[in-house]
């Protein structure tokens, strides 16, 4: 049996086409294109690259993009003021705060200030709670939502299967586990304190890696024919690699997402989808 490569690019492209059309309809109705604002504190090459990619993704589908760049040393009040300003700006439908923030920013400042209606990356506790409860009004973090849409794009059956999610962050692992649970998978969440990780991952019909540990998932940890979803984005010797040792795992898996080109291309498309959802709701079109 040869492995199926779950390429995110064609799936992302198809969804992008639909979103462009929807964006144009909304722009005609409201009088301006829906827009996202990205708030960035300080500079670093990886964050700059990510912000540029978001800008490109939004401009490609004729949606608005605004960057609020603050210095790394900016007082907390400045960040708060920027968020309140964007919350109140009717031309901005979605707000994304580039993480991590500098250490002088209290961890609960953004969740407490950001409007949950514009929280298109699902970091607000109201959205996280809604996701946990299976409430359709939740904004779901873009990366795990993209992972789920990728599985859907390839018609991977989820209901009744055992999904093991390795990683429990609030932005990737935990929401992915909840999304799979809502699709009626039986879900196990593993993390750095899990004992005998290989014994657990070998039980997975769907194995999800979201650890930031390059090559953590080896062939011996994967059941023959399993579906393997790799969210990892790690730079090793100047090359982007996932959390899964791709070559050896591809030899045993039934299907696998490549890195790059698997879950990555889906993320910004989901961010666009969430921004349009926020715009529809703000204008009573949902
Ligand atoms: P975090 O560092 O926040 O979380 C990593 C998780 O992995 C933690 O829950 C940690 O456990 C667990 N973990 C770490 N080491 C091990 C181990 N040896 N065995 C088992 N579990 C382990 O990372 P994120 O969730 O933010 O990101 C995960 C990956 O996804 C990264 O590579 C990141 O770059 C990537 N990413 C990809 C995106 C995309 O678009 N595809 C977007 C965002 C992130 P514990 O909780 O016990 O510490």
- Closest Cα to residue 34, out of 26, 44, 45, 43? 26
- Nearest residue CA, atom 15 of ligand 1? 192
CA of 210 to the centre of ligand 1 (A): 4
Residues 111-139 have a mean pLDDT of: 97
| 35-78 per-position pLDDT tens digit | 999 999 999 888 999 999 999 999 999 999 999 999 999 999 99
3-state secondary structure of 256: strand
Confirm or reject: Cβ of 263 under 6 Å from ligand 1: yes
pLDDT at 241: 96
Distance CA 252, CA 249 (A): 5
| Domain 142-264 listed as CATH 3.20.20.70 | no
Compute the chain's Rg from CA coordinates.
19
Q: 160: part of which helix (H) or strand (E)?
A: none
What are the extents of the domains in the chain? 31-116, 142-264
What is the position in ligand 1's atom list of the atom closest to the CA of 170?
A: 25
| 106-119 per-position pLDDT tens digit | 999 999 899 999 99
Distance CA 29, CA 124 (A): 28
| 192-209 per-position pLDDT tens digit | 999 999 999 999 999 999
Top mutation candidate among 169, 264, 267, 272 for ligand 1, by most atoms within 8 Å of CB: 169
Distance CA 142, CA 121 (A): 6
- Nearest residue CA, atom 35 of ligand 1? 232
What is the residue whose two structure tokens read 């209901």?
159
- Strands (DSSP E) found in 42-196: 64-70, 94-97, 162-166, 186-190
* Beta strands at 35-41 and 64-70: parallel, antiparallel or unpaired: parallel
Given 3.40.640.10, 3.30.420.40, 3.40.50.10860, 3.40.50.2000, which CATH number is that of 31-116? 3.40.50.10860
Top mutation candidate among 11, 96, 97, 167 for ligand 1, by most atoms within 8 Å of CB: 167
Distance CA 4, CA 187 (A): 23
Within this chain, domains 31-116 and 142-264 share the same CATH topology: yes
Q: Is the pTM of this model over 0.85?
A: yes
């Amino acid at each position: 049996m040869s492995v199926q490569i779950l390429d995110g690019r064609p799936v992302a492209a198809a969804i992008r086409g639909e979103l462009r059309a929807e964006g144009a309809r909304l722009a005609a109705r409201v009088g301006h294109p829906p827009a996202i604002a990205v708030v960035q504190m300080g500079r670093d090459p990886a964050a700059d690259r990510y912000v540029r990619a978001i800008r490109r993704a939004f401009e490609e589908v004729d949606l608005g993009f605004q960057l609020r760049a603050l210095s790394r040393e900016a007082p907390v009040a400045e960040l708060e003021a920027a968020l309140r300003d964007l919350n109140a700006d009717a031309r901005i439908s979605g707000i994304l705060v580039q993480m991590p923030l500098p250490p002088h920013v209290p961890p609960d400042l953004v969740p407490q200030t950001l409007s949950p209606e514009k929280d298109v990356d699902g970091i607000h506790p109201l959205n996280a709670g809604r996701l946990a409860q299976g409430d359709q009004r939740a904004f779901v973090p873009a990366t795990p939502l993209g992972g789920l849409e990728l599985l859907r794009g390839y018609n991977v059956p989820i209901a009744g299967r055992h999904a093991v999610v390795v990683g429990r962050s609030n932005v990737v692992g935990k929401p992915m586990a909840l999304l799979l649970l809502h699709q009626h998978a039986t879900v196990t969440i593993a993390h750095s304190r899990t004992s005998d990780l290989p014994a657990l991952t070998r039980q997975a019909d769907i194995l999800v890696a979201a650890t930031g540990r390059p090559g953590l998932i080896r062939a011996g940890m994967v059941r023959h024919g399993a579906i393997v979803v790799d969210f990892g984005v790690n730079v090793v010797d100047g090359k982007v690699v996932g959390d899964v040792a791709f070559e050896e795992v591809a030899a045993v898996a039934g299907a696998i997402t490549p890195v790059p080109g698997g879950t990555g291309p889906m993320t910004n498309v989901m961010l666009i989808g969430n921004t349009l959802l926020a715009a529809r709701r703000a204008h009573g079109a949902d």
